Structure 1
Amino acid sequence: MATRKTARIRVGIGGWTFEPWRGTFYPKGLAQKQELEYASRALTTIEVNGTFYGSQKPETFAKWRDEAPDDFVFSLKAPRYATNRRVLADAGETIERFFKSGLLELQNKLGPINWQFAATKKFDADDFGAFLKLLPAKVEGRAIRHAVEVRHESFSDPAFVALARKHRVAIVVAGDSKYPQIADTTAPFVYARIMGTTEKQKQGYSKAALDGWASRAKEWAAGGVPEDMARASTSAGAKVGSRDVFLYVISGYKERNPAAAIALTERINGTT
């Protein structure tokens, strides 16, 4: 799945507990307690939504780690208490508490942290810059990758791109979405969430759409920027040889999301 020696493209879904996946994605009769074990072998990454709504226990993170294979990665949505606030600069205590909650129990299976903001949150350069300064580059010696998911048009601003680039924080790319698309590359990795699956397509997307997203993922991994993606800045930033890519099939017609993720993985691997 690596486009180059140092780049890895991972494709996944949001969570693993969803009743309509039972008998469609999950085999009929599979015990619910075995769903993570199954999903983590069918996919290469999962974005965890539960951490957005509340803290998890260290033993929970350890359990997830042990149920997933060695080469699997969990991305975590950071707690809403850090991002859903008027003054972001005041989020330090919440951020510190999150990183002390036990998530390092995931060890090498800890992927990027997605800091998701409400659609009503507007860009304030000073406050957002102060927030980015609070995000730790390392915790207990482990490097932490951060991505920010912004959903207000005011973030389509070169100043926002420059801030993210300064702090080496990825801007989450919104695909097939009502939210603004800011596909500027600002970190050593790309984090994309595509939201256009439909019921009428067996694999969630048409073959042409799947081909398109697979092509974009490979372009990102090779260090490039897809030409058909909207950017907020004319500055391309520093050239890189390769990037890790995390691509999640989220929202849309959720029942089809695992099929879309698997179809994308097959295209990226050249097995379809």
Structure 2
Amino acid sequence: MTRSQEGRIPNKGSGIHVGTSGWLYPAWRGTFYPKGLAHRRELEYLSRCVDSVEINGSFYSLQRPERYLGWYTQTPEDFVFSVKGGRFITHMKQLRDVDAPLANFFASGVLALDQKLGPVLWQLPPRMPFDPTRLAAFSRLLPRSTGAAAELARRHDDKLRFEPYLHVEQDRPLRHALEVRHPSFATADAVRLLREHDLALVVADTAGIWPYLEDVTSDFVYVRLHGAEELYASGYTDEALTAWAAKVRVWRNGLSPAPEHLVAAPARKREREVFVYFDNDMKVKAPGDAIALAEKLGLHRVPPDAGPREAS
């Protein structure tokens, strides 16, 4: 099960990607999505408005290769997917004894995204404190290229109940981001370990509930905006989005926006790719905020006519 290479081009662009965390939300239908748009066309529609999306269904369960292949074909050539790692690994196993679960995850079809595959996001539960030994051991297991991910995927176990996807047309770098939610991560030691293992510390705006850190720990910056005042619900004002656009430009140019949000020495200056995802989906704020931020950054895409209206 593979794609044709015909007409494929590598990702090009500004080095800044803005989108939403997920796209299958009933509340978006008839509000963001045009009334009557078939559910199967929602990703297609969103991908004409923003240039990236975070796949979050992969957090709840293993997806299947045909789904990843479908998402690939529904999106433009320059589109980028980030993929959220499974909660079985992060929340149930809490990063311990995860060799087989990691193999299953990468065998489930992630590699079918090919050149559209962006970072893999690992979100830790709030109860999980900073444990340098455990985190270092997990970091060493993570594949750093799609070829290495395919090798790992070959070690899947019988909990993968479908044909694994192991095909890699071109070996590409594979990057990882870590979203932390325990206050013990707000230390220089944690930042140093993440830099040592090349894990991007997620900049997470969580309405003040969980740690907010801007320390740069990799060659890319990963931002998740969960809501300015109410978690998963409240939107961002024009003033707030202007401020976020300014931060994104600073990160892109290799600097740190505000030293008061750092717990370690600033990273050395270098141009960095930036990924920003809005996760304030409950009141249909995420797509509008993503489009508005993209516009401020000169990245907005104009969606085509939605086409024939039909029930999904």
The code of the aligned residue for 2:256 comes to V
User: Which of 191, 207, 214 is the matching residue for 1:161?
Assistant: 191
Q: Which position in structure 1 is the counterpart of 2:237?
A: 206
The code of the aligned residue for 1:153 comes to P
User: Which of 78, 82, 105 is the matching residue for 2:112?
Assistant: 105
Q: Is the 8 A contact 2:205 2:228 kept in 1?
A: no
Q: Which position in structure 2 is the counterpart of 1:260?
A: 289
Q: Which position in structure 2 is the counterpart of 1:34?
A: 41
Q: For residues 115-174 of structure 1, what are the alpha-carbon distances to aligned partners after superposition, in whole Å with 9 as ceiling and x for unaligned? A: 011000011111111111111111312311100111000011111111110111101111
Distance 1:6 1:14 in 2: 21
The 5 A counterparts of 1:131-150 are 131-140=138-147, 141-150=171-180
Distance 1:183 1:189 in 2: 12
The 5 A counterparts of 1:1-16 are 8-16=15-23
The offset of 1:29, in angstroms, is: 1.6
In 2 relative to 1, CA 252–229 (structure 1 residues): closer, same or farther, beyond 3 Å? farther
The code of the aligned residue for 2:193 comes to L
Q: Which of structures 1 and 2 has the bigger CA Rg?
A: 2
Distance 1:99 1:134 in 2: 12
Distance 2:191 2:180 in 1: 12
Percent identity (aligned): 42
Distance 2:189 2:13 in 1: 30
Distance 2:24 2:94 in 1: 34
Q: Secondary structure at the match of 2:198?
A: coil
User: Which of 93, 117, 121 is the matching residue for 2:128?
Assistant: 121
Structure 1: which 4+ aligned runs deviate by more than 4 Å? none
Distance 1:33 1:86 in 2: 33
Distance 2:74 2:260 in 1: 36
Q: Does 1:248 align with 2:277?
A: yes
Q: Secondary structure at the match of 1:259?
A: helix
The offset of 1:6, in angstroms, is: 8.0
- Give the total of aligned pairs: 262
User: Which of 243, 254, 262 is the matching residue for 1:231?
Assistant: 262
Q: Which runs of 5+ in 2 are unaligned?
A: 1-11, 148-170, 301-312
Distance 1:167 1:6 in 2: 27
User: Which of 94, 106, 121 is the matching residue for 2:101?
Assistant: 94
In 2 relative to 1, CA 89–130 (structure 1 residues): closer, same or farther, beyond 3 Å? farther
> After the TM superposition, which of the residue ranges 190-199 and 146-155 deviates more from structure 2?
190-199
Q: Secondary structure at the match of 1:226?
A: coil
Q: Does 1:269 align with 2:269?
A: no
TM-score calculated relative to the size of structure 1 = 0.90
Q: Which runs of 5+ in 1 are unaligned?
A: none
In 2 relative to 1, CA 34–198 (structure 1 residues): closer, same or farther, beyond 3 Å? farther
Q: Is the 8 A contact 1:220 1:226 kept in 2?
A: yes
> After the TM superposition, which of the residue ranges 257-266 and 94-103 deviates more from structure 2?
94-103
The code of the aligned residue for 2:25 comes to F
In 2 relative to 1, CA 160–197 (structure 1 residues): closer, same or farther, beyond 3 Å? closer
> After the TM superposition, which of the residue ranges 168-177 and 247-256 deviates more from structure 2?
247-256
TM-score calculated relative to the size of structure 2 = 0.79
The code of the aligned residue for 2:273 comes to D
Distance 1:115 1:268 in 2: 27
